[in-house]
Amino acid sequence: MDNTQYFYRRVIFTRQNNQVALVDIDNPEQISPLEDWMGIVVSLADGKHSIAQLVSYLGNQYPSAPANLEATIFSVIERLIDGDMIALSQDKVDLPYYLAAPIEALDIDRAKQLISEEFDSQVH
């Protein structure tokens, strides 16, 4: 995996009770909790940091980083890509408003309007 690539989320998420979950913007009470590693990566997938920076950041969370940390992170990233929850880019990515923060930090009406406008522009 090219760890110089930037990773960014493609899903709306929530962070409640120390748990990251996917959330349906039309029904914010309906959440799909993510496994811990997946939740960490999704919550950090801001499009401004490379995979190498992610590995370094997570490695610094341990007194002594596990030997398989990088392989674990690569595996998680691949699973998230396969599930279309994150994507990779050679360049930094500016996330749209509705993906830039957890749902609890968003103006839901504004987010829905922007999603609708983006969908309409893709259809036409």
Entry pTM: 0.88
Residues 99, 8: Cα–Cα separation, whole Å: 9
Fold that domain 6-123 belongs to in CATH:
Outer Surface Protein A; domain 3 (3.90.930)
How far is Cα of residue 101 from the mean position of the Cα atoms in its chain? 9
Q: Write the DSSP symbol of residue 3.
A: T
Per residue in 3-44, pLDDT (tens digit) is 999 999 999 999 988 899 999 999 988 899 999 999 999 999
Q: How much of the chain is in helix, strand and coil states, percent to nearest 5?
A: 45, 25, 30
Residue-range domain boundaries for the chain: 6-123
